[in-house]
Each structure stands twice: as structure tokens, then as C-alpha cells.
A and B are shown apart, each in its own frame.
Chain A
């Protein structure tokens, strides 16, 4: 069956370090992959989109890589801050005659001061 896996265990890191979150998927051929931030009790906020023919995308302190051979995306936050603490969701968009978006369950990130 089709699946998106994100580490269900929370990631705890020290302020200033780089946080790296992983998204693995099976049985999809996604057209593109997106990362969202979700704070408790709030809707997701779009961060970055990377297409299947792109290897890497950057936006300020954020970097996303996309390896379609490994079926994996890595999401990096450099110089992390306590304000970066949130749940980060990976989402795949694939074409089934129309685009459909499937979300992972997210990984909770805690950045300690």
C-alpha cells in the first residue's frame, strides 16, 4: 500500500544546531513534495515545495532535498531557534488524473534554548 513515513518520535535539539527531519515514501511517483509547519491546534502553514526533477531547494534557513531513487526527502533547519519548535509535515502530490495530496503524520521538533 502507499505510505508516507515520518519519524513519530520527537526530535530534540539545542538552539543553534541544524535540525534534520526525514520523509520516506513507498509506491508513489510524486510530481512534487511539500513541507508544512503545524503548531498545536492550528492549520498547516506552507514552507517549501520541491519538484521531482529538483534535487535541492532553499529558503532562508530552510533546505529541502528530494531523492526520488531513495524515495526520501530531508528537511533541514539551520541555526535553529526555539521559535522553530513545531510539528513539520511532509506532503506528496501525485497525479491520478487530477493532483492529490497525501500527508505524513509529521515529526515534532523541540528546540531548546
Chain B
């Protein structure tokens, strides 16, 4: 089946630093990838839609200058949290779309900002 990986699986950083999270589709090509964040016991909240070769589409309330998304190839999208603050601590999950109805999710990245 389709496999999506994320790296790193968890990261701890100091406030004010930037963190890059990678999302890769290992055995298929994905023109569209999604980035979500999830707080404990809450639903996945879509942050942005990433299309290969074009600018990401951000959801309302998500700062595009803070959460930089690059989808440079059909198998890789990156999310960079710039100038991270403790309130950015969360579980970040990507997914890759193979058809309009099907998303395959990565294992998630736990970010802790001190």
C-alpha cells in the first residue's frame, strides 16, 4: 500500500529557532500533499494544501510567513516552522493524496518548543 514518511518523528527546539519537517511519499507520486496539526484530544486541523510546483494554499488563520511550505517534487513536501514559540508545540501530520477521495497519512512529527 501507499506509504508516507515524516522526518523527524519528534523534535525539541528553543523558542525563536526554525524547524523543518519533511513529508515523503515513498512508493507513489503525489501532486497534492496536506499539512495538519493536532492538539491533544482534538481533531486534525488542516493548515495548508501543498501542490507540487506551485504555492501552497493556506487555511484561514494560518500564517503563511510562519509556516513555510515547499513542495519541490512529486514525492517531497516540507513544512518549516519559523521563529517557533511554545504555542507552536503540537503534533504535525502530513498526508499525500492519490485520488480526490484518498489520503495517506504520515506517522506525524511531535514538536516541542521550549
Contact = CB atoms under 8 A, between A and B. Distances in A.
8 tightest A-B CB contacts, nearest first: A43-B105, A105-B43, A103-B43, A103-B44, A43-B108, A43-B93, A44-B105, A43-B107
Contacts of A45: 105
A59 to B, nearest CB: 14
A46 B103 contact: yes
B43 A104 contact: yes
Majority SS of interface residues in chain B?
A: strand
B113 interface: no
A49 B99 CA distance: 13
Residues of A in contact with B, size category: 20 to 34
B22 to A, nearest CB: 14
Majority SS of interface residues in chain A?
A: strand
Contacts of A46: 102-105
Interface in B74-109: 91, 93, 95, 100-108
Contacts, number: 47
A70 B104 CA distance: 29
Nearest to B95: A43
A42 interface: yes
A93 interface: yes
18 contacts: A4-B43, A8-B41, A42-B108, A43-B95, A43-B107, A43-B108, A44-B44, A49-B101, A89-B43, A89-B44, A101-B34, A101-B46, A102-B46, A103-B43, A103-B44, A103-B45, A105-B42, A106-B43
B44 A99 contact: no
Contacts of A34: 101
A32 B100 CA distance: 11
Contacts of B102: 46, 49
Contacts of B103: 46, 101
Nearest to A43: B105
